[in-house]
Amino acid sequence: MIQRIQSFWLVLAACCMALCFLVPTAEYHATVEQTGQTVEASLNLVAKDAPEMMNQMITGAPVIEYSQKVSGFKTWPLTVLAVVVAVIAIASIFLYKNRVRQMRVVAVAFLLDVVYVFLLFFWAVDAYSKTIAQTMATADMGITWHAGAYAPIVAIVFFLLAHRSIKKDEMKVRAADRLR
């Protein structure tokens, strides 16, 4: 039966992973030492366009918008991993006839989501801030976290809740089989 609570948790986990594509993960704020201009950049799973950085520096704009397309910073490992986790979450909903397999698939999605969070915080956010600092010769870099950073963590919680619900269903079925 597909109308179970774990289906709801798995849909919410997939929605959290889809949210990572819609909102930025982090925003960076820094000041260029030579000119005193403010640099603003955001880290997204899919690179967004921003005005040309050098044209902004020449015209003396007070705020320089820096983008992933300008820096050449690639987030494709995170993008692929987010898509895989979301697809596994949706696909595991339809494995309701085999609860043991469904638990294993949800556990794999959970582990891939943990890897995603690890790569996000320990690779992407740090590497992109170093790229900005080297390119713009900035000293102090401030980071503001957005929903794209918190959504995969919430998805981890939803995977745990789904796994727990599937396990409860399996225990009920086994208890009913023992009574027969």
pLDDT digits (tens, 9 = 90+) for 24-79: 888 877 776 666 677 777 777 776 655 554 454 455 555 555 555 556 667 788 88
What's the confidence (pLDDT) of residue 71?
A: 60
- Architecture (CATH level 2) of domain 5-167: Up-down Bundle (1.20)
pLDDT tens digits, 108-147: 999 999 999 999 888 887 777 777 766 666 657 778 888 8
The residues spanned by each domain of the chain are: 5-167
Decide if 139 contacts 30 (C-beta within 8 A).
Answer: yes
| Cα–Cα distance, 33 to 105 (Å, whole number) | 50
Top pLDDT among 11 and 172 is at 11
Q: Is the dihedral of CA 41, 147, 46, 85 positive or negative?
A: positive
124: which residues sit within 8 A by CB, 6+ positions away?
A: 25, 43, 75, 78
What's the confidence (pLDDT) of residue 54?
A: 47
Decide if 134 contacts 39 (C-beta within 8 A).
Answer: no
pLDDT tens digits, 95-107: 988 989 999 999 9
